[in-house]
Amino acid sequence: MRQVPTVKLLIGGEFIESTTTEWRDIVNPATQEVLARVPMATVAEVDAAVAAGQAAFQTWRHTPIGVRARIFLKYQQLIRENMKEVAAILTAEQGKTLADAEGDIFRGLEVVEHAANIGSLQMGELANNVATGVDTYTLQQPLGVCAGITPFNFPAMIPLWMFPMAIACGNTFVLKPSEQDPMSTMRLVELAIEAGIPPGVLNVVHGGEQVVNAICDHPQIKAVSFVGSTRVGTHVYQRATLSGKRVQCMMGAKNHAIVLPDAHKEQTLNNLLGAAFGAAGQRCMAVSVAVLVGEAQAWLPELVQRAKTLTVGNGASSGTDVGPVISCAAKDRVESLIAQGEAEGAKLELDGRLPALPGALKEGNFVGPTIFSGVKPGMAVYEQEIFGPVLCVAAAATLDEAIAFINANPNGNGTSIFTQSGAAARRFQEEIDVGQVGINVPIPVPVPLFSFTGSRASKLGDLGPYGKQVVLFYTQTKTITERWFDDSSVSSGVNTTISLK
Ligand code: NAD
């Protein structure tokens, strides 16, 4: 029998085998091949990872900024050199196409490049002469051990949103990757160690609920970054803030795209399809609802027609547009939501259940592009984040009606508008109550010069990942108010007022 490899923990610079008795298979979602086994780490192993981070923090926090920056310069080079290898691992365990896997890594690589710029990011402020002979300045000091909990859908990008910026700021880190696809994350962690991250500065534990709860409760963890579903994120936020931590949770979504009749038709339809069905709809910024305004409603048949041309298959095969969803459970859930959509009166324009596939893929978790029209609030396909290749189409008479429709949805992750009218786009950007807005851009995930800014039910906590905001998240601002006496200073006696004179 083939020996299945095991995924290691990283504690204090050593890749070690967990002592747990609880393991879970990592399965290729296109073929059901078992690729490896991942441990559900013990609480003692979480404690050991945090202790390693706490010990390493004592020296890492004083490591010069240039030394920290150079590690990330080296790291970005190593990621580039190993891009194809990491992408192949990612596609095998997650299912997305190889090109999209490279995109997943690339969007994380951009954050690593940003972390290499920490010298100009982690700067304080100074005000000269705030009172006579008095200056005030700020320090942005690292917090200590920080932790990150990541979802299955971006096993490269999202871990790279977290530990590079936290570590570049002078913190140490405990990462808990998704237990569904931790292998590509681990390859990126190996490269980070190769780039020179010292022992204990980056640690990794694997697991599910028990490990996450241990992270939330641990008294020596100062901050937690979470990306995942709204249900789990809300739990993490409540539990970790209760134990006094800083917490940022990026959570679930239902992203709408408005299509105005003056939009560039060809570009719009292609953009909508790519954003709805790319990564089999398993992106937190996927377009899952298209709101066709006025005469744009006549574009529906062409949208459906084009969706039929997408190729469903193994993400590792060239020519595939839509890979499998992550698990059998995810496939069952998507299929049952499609059935529910029909039962609740939405019109099934394109049914992606049971796509025709070659024999080798018969067991895979495939659902093809699916489109519903006539979708209304109250229907399960509208109320729930399906997280599969299902596009809901709704109709609106005017732009204002479309904006009101979106603002009535509780989620606030992303939205976009397709139009050639600057005035309409500007009205949309001003009135829409969603954190990330695209104008003729279907998936407006900001580059790391900015921060990820999901809002409302899609986010808990004030500061977003990467960009400038995350430097504030991963540091404590200290203000120093300073006065130096020189020999010519004349004491004016005791001052019992609060004013600085
Ligand atoms: P998930 O919430 O199931 O899992 C996320 C993490 O939480 C994993 O590491 C998992 O091990 C852990 N976890 C799972 N169940 C838990 C429990 N009961 N208690 C404690 N921890 C638990 O999410 P997922 O299915 O891996 O990812 C998909 C979700 O993530 C979607 O809702 C998607 O919208 C969201 N997401 C959001 C963003 C964003 O930036 N807003 C980005 C990517 C994904």
Residue 296, CA distances (Å) to 64, 127, 151, 293 in order: 57, 55, 35, 5
Please state, in angstroms and rounded to a whole number, the distance separating the CA atoms of residues 283 and 415. Answer: 13
Give distance in angstroms: CA of 215 to centre of ligand 1: 15
Residue 126, C-beta contacts closer than 8 angstroms, at least 6 positions apart:
135, 136, 137, 138
Give distance in angstroms: CA of 296 to centre of ligand 1: 35
Number of C-beta neighbours around residue 421 at 10 A: 14
DSSP calls for 472-496: HHTEEEEEEEEE---TT--------
Helix/strand/coil (H/E/C) assignment for every residue in 191-249:
HHHHCCCCCCCEEECCCCHHHHHHHHHCCCEEEEEEECCHHHHHHHHHHHHHCCCEEEE
Ligand 1 residue neighbourhood (C-beta within 6 Å)? 149-154, 176, 178-179, 208-209, 212, 227-229, 232, 235, 250-253, 284, 385, 387, 413, 452, 454, 458
Atom of ligand 1 nearest to the CA of 150: 9
Number of C-beta neighbours around residue 476 at 10 A: 14
Backbone angles phi, psi at 320, to 5 degrees: -80, 135
Ramachandran region of residue 170, left (φ > 0), alpha (ψ -120 to 50) or beta? left
pTM above 0.75, yes or no: yes
Atom of ligand 1 nearest to the CA of 458: 41
Contact 370, 387 (CB under 8 A): no
Residue bearing the CA closest to ligand 1, atom 30: 228
Please state, in angstroms and rounded to a whole number, the distance separating the CA atoms of residues 7 and 186. Answer: 8
Tens digits of residue pLDDT in 62-73: 999 999 999 999
Tens digits of residue pLDDT in 340-374: 999 999 999 999 999 999 888 999 999 999 999 99
Q: What band does 43 get if pLDDT is binned at 50, 70 and 90?
A: very high
Please state, in angstroms and rounded to a whole number, the distance separating the CA atoms of residues 434 and 411. Answer: 8
Q: Among 215, 232, 247, name the best residue to mutate to test ligand 1's pocket (greatest count of ligand atoms within 8 A of Cβ).
A: 232
Residue 210, C-beta contacts closer than 8 angstroms, at least 6 positions apart:
40, 43
What pLDDT score was predicted for residue 489?
67
Atom of ligand 1 nearest to the CA of 413: 41
Please state, in angstroms and rounded to a whole number, the distance separating the CA atoms of residues 448 and 468. Answer: 8
Percent of the chain at pLDDT exceeding 90: 95
Tens digits of residue pLDDT in 112-154: 999 999 999 999 999 999 999 999 999 999 999 999 999 999 9
Give distance in angstroms: CA of 423 to centre of ligand 1: 38
Residue 2, C-beta contacts closer than 8 angstroms, at least 6 positions apart:
none
Q: Among 107, 227, 248, 365, name the best residue to mutate to test ligand 1's pocket (greatest count of ligand atoms within 8 A of Cβ).
A: 227
Number of C-beta neighbours around residue 266 at 10 A: 10
Atom of ligand 1 nearest to the CA of 179: 11
Please state, in angstroms and rounded to a whole number, the distance separating the CA atoms of residues 439 and 260. Answer: 12
Q: Which of 442, 129, 432, 107 is nearest to 274 (CA)?
A: 442
Residue bearing the CA closest to ligand 1, atom 19: 209
Give distance in angstroms: CA of 228 to centre of ligand 1: 3
Give distance in angstroms: CA of 342 to centre of ligand 1: 27
pLDDT of 487 over the 80 cut = no
Tens digits of residue pLDDT in 67-110: 999 999 999 999 999 999 999 999 999 999 999 999 999 999 99
Q: Among 154, 158, 178, 186, name the best residue to mutate to test ligand 1's pocket (greatest count of ligand atoms within 8 A of Cβ).
A: 178
Contact 145, 174 (CB under 8 A): yes
Contact 259, 291 (CB under 8 A): yes
Give distance in angstroms: CA of 210 to centre of ligand 1: 14
Give distance in angstroms: CA of 313 to centre of ligand 1: 25
Q: What band does 492 get if pLDDT is binned at 50, 70 and 90?
A: confident
Rounded to the nearest 10°, the torsion over CA 223, 229, 232, 233 is 30
| Catalytic annotation, residues | 284
Q: Among 212, 282, 331, name the best residue to mutate to test ligand 1's pocket (greatest count of ligand atoms within 8 A of Cβ).
A: 212
